[in-house]
């Protein structure tokens, strides 16, 4: 079955260009021209969303927040498309759960390469990254690896996919210092389009969700992180 990609942008020419080139690569493409229509189209089964940030009616940041709140769409990877290229904008996108942040004008070759990289990462994660029978218990925290769930003091806490996989990676290496590079290699597998800052953003979100148990994750300055109990 071909991968289904939703392209969302308020500029018709960009939508047509991306749709044409993605279809040439064998992908099935849906389109939307504003945020509200994007959420409506996202009710279908999707494998990836290419999402513009600055749009009428509802911007891309609002859209991704809604996607991540919905259990039916929170696992769909999102690539942001935007003319805004500052570091602070990129960090906001990553914190909200985006896989990557692509700056306009868009190079079709690079965009196709990033789309392929996202699909490879998710396929590798599905087939080999996690032991499909493992349940990890650490005090009041229970991590159910095959179900991608984390329970803290009996209450399930929602982690997006990459946050979950980084947490599992840290826990499996508990007591040892792991570098940012090793996390990139262990979780993303292919780090061509992912930088150290991405790891730091995800670690910050993980700590927020762990609440008082965020003390388990220790920052080793200039090196990386250690999960200690």
100 forms bridges with which residues in the sheet? 79
**pLDDT for the residue numbered 7:** 98
The confidence band for 146, taking pLDDT boundaries of 50, 70 and 90, is: confident
Same domain, 149 and 208: yes
d(CA 23, CA 172): 40
- Domain end among 84, 105, 128: 128
Residue 210's CB is within 10 A of a number of other CB atoms, namely: 18
Which residue do the tokens 């508990």 mark?
Answer: 174
* Predicted TM-score of the model (pTM): 0.60
- Mark whether 23 and 104 lie in a shared domain: yes
Could you tell me if 118 and 156 lie in one domain? no
Average pLDDT over residues 143-171: 92
Do 51 and 62 belong together in one domain? Answer: yes
Asked if residue 119 and residue 106 are part of one domain, the reply reads yes
Average pLDDT, integer, range 93-111: 86
What's the pLDDT tens digit per position in 20-65? 999 999 999 999 999 999 999 999 989 999 999 988 889 999 999 9
Domain CATH code at residue 195: 1.10.10.10
In the listed set 107, 128, 149, which residue is the last one of a domain according to the structure?
128
* 87 φ/ψ angles, rounded to the nearest 5 degrees: -60, -40
Helix extents (H) in the chain: 12-24, 35-41, 60-69, 87-95, 108-124, 161-172, 180-183, 196-210
Q: Which of 9-13, 102-106, 117-121, 164-168 shows the lowest mean pLDDT across its residues?
A: 117-121
Mean pLDDT for the stretch of residues 140-144: 93
Higher pLDDT: 75 or 14? It is 14
Overall number of domains in the chain: 2
Structure-token pair, residue 143: 């991590």
User: Residue 122 sits in a domain of what CATH number?
Assistant: 3.40.50.2300
Is the pLDDT at 152 greater than 90? The verdict is yes
Q: Domain range spanning residue 117?
A: 4-128
């Amino acid at each position: 079955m071909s991968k289904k990609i939703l392209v969302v942008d308020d500029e018709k020419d960009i939508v047509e260009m991306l749709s044409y080139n993605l279809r040439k690569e064998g992908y099935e493409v849906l389109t939307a021209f504003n945020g509200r229509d994007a959420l409506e189209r996202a009710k279908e089964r999707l494998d990836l969303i290419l999402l513009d940030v600055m749009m009428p009616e509802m911007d891309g940041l609002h859209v991704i927040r809604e996607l991540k709140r919905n259990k039916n769409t929170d696992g769909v990877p999102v690539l942001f498309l935007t003319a805004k290229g500052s570091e602070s904008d990129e960090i906001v996108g990553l914190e909200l759960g985006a896989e990557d942040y692509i700056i306009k004008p868009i190079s079709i070759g690079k965009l196709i390469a990033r789309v392929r990289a996202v699909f490879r990462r998710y396929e590798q994660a599905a087939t080999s990254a996690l032991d499909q029978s493992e349940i990890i218990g650490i005090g009041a925290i229970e991590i159910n690896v095959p179900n991608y769930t984390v329970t803290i003091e009996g209450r399930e806490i929602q982690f997006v996919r990459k946050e979950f996989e980084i947490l599992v990676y840290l826990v499996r290496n508990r007591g040892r210092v792991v570098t940012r590079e090793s996390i990139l290699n262990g979780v993303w597998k292919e780090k061509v389009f992912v930088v150290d800052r991405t790891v730091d953003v995800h670690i910050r979100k993980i700590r927020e969700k762990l609440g008082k148990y965020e003390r388990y994750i220790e920052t080793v300055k200039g090196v990386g992180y250690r999960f200690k109990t």
